[in-house]
Amino acid sequence: MNPRRPAVFLDRDGVINRTVVSNGVPHPPQSVAECEILPGVAEACGKLKAAGFPLIVVTNQPDVARGAQTRDEVERINQHLRLLLPIDAVYVCYHDTADDCDCRKPRPGMLIRAAEDLHLDLGSSYMVGDRSGDILAGAAAGCTTLLIDLPYSKGDRCEPDFRVASLLEAAGKILISASR
């Protein structure tokens, strides 16, 4: 049996691709045409992948449950990102908050499922996100957490292990931490 290995879990919107912020609230792209990868993301993913980390996207997409987005379009966006970046897997929660599911962040369900599916060691893994729900899910799963500080995340009440300005900065911290 293969030993469990560490991974880097990434939120999608605001970490990998640009969000549209309206009234202080970030919104995902509505289509592949609107999906813009953030500066430094390809380099960060390349460095993490070269260091041997599986890259796993874990993303809440409640607009599907709310009727504002289709599951097919979310899947097209995810496939687009997988074509451009060395992402190993994408786990999506399509539920809304009221659904009270196990997979919606801040609950750790997507991370736990990925760990089971892909034979990952959550205790030596990392979760990078831009909101408190990402950090809380990562912490609940036992991961080291990194919060990308953005204007809309300033008021979030969470205690990440690291605060960074970008995924590229997060990758640097992960690579230093993993080498210890």
Binding-site entries for Mg(2+): 11, 13, 130
Q: How far is CA 109 from the centre of its chain?
A: 13
DSSP 8-state code for residue 86 = -
Q: Which residues are annotated as a binding site?
A: 11, 13, 93, 95, 101, 103, 130
Give dist(CA 22, CA 3) in Å, integer.
44
**Residue from 13, 72, 149, 156 carrying the catalytic annotation:** 13
Is 13 annotated in the active site?
yes
Is 72 annotated in the active site?
no
Q: List Cβ neighbours of 14 (8 Å cut-off, separation of 6 or more).
A: 26, 129, 130, 131, 148, 150, 152
Helix (H, G, I), strand (E, B) or coil at 176: helix
Q: Which residues are annotated as a binding site for Zn(2+)?
A: 93, 95, 101, 103
In order of 32, 76, 128, 172, the CA distances from 17 in angstroms are 11, 14, 13, 19
Q: Is the Cβ–Cβ distance between 78 and 94 less than 8 Å?
A: no
Q: How far is CA 122 from the centre of its chain?
A: 14
**Residue from 11, 72, 134, 149 carrying the catalytic annotation:** 11
Residues marked as catalytic? 11, 13
